[in-house]
Amino acid sequence: MKDIAIYGAGGFGRELACLLNSINKVEPTWNLVGFFDDNPDLKGQMISHFGVCLGGMDVLNAYPKELALVIPIGNSKVVKTLVGKITNRNVYYPNIIHPDVIFSDPETFRIGKGNILQTGCRFSTNISIGDFNIFNGEIALGHDDSIGNFNTFMPDVRISGAVEIGDENFFGVGSIILQTIKIGRGVRLGAGGVLMSNPADGKLYVGIPARKTEF
Ligand X SMILES: CC(C)(COP(=O)(O)OP(=O)(O)OC[C@H]1O[C@@H](n2cnc3c(N)ncnc32)[C@H](O)[C@@H]1OP(=O)(O)O)[C@@H](O)C(=O)NCCC(=O)NCCS
- Write out the residues near ligand X by the rule CB under 6 A: 154-155, 172-173, 188, 190-193, 206-207, 215
Nearer to ligand X, 63 or 205 (CB): 205
Nearest to 117 by CA among 129, 125, 106: 129
Are the C-beta atoms of 195 and 177 separated by less than 8 Å?
yes
Rounded CA-CA distance 167/29 in Å is 30
Which 8-state DSSP code applies to residue 41? G
Nearer to ligand X, 60 or 168 (CB): 168
To ligand X, the closest distance from the beta carbon of 48 in angstroms equals 18
We find the least distance from the C-beta atom of residue 87 to ligand X, in angstroms, to be 31
Which CB atom, from 30 or from 205, has the smaller least distance to ligand X?
A: 205
Which lies closer to ligand X via its Cβ, residue 143 or residue 158?
A: 158
**Cβ 116 to ligand X shortest distance, Å:** 13
CB 57 within 8 A of CB 85: yes
Which residue number is nearest to ligand X in terms of Cβ?
190
- Greatest distance between any 2 Cα atoms in the chain: 51
Closest distance between ligand X and the C-beta of residue 34, in Å? Answer: 24
Distance CA 182, CA 184 (A): 7
For the chain, helix, strand, coil in percent to 5 are 15, 35, 50
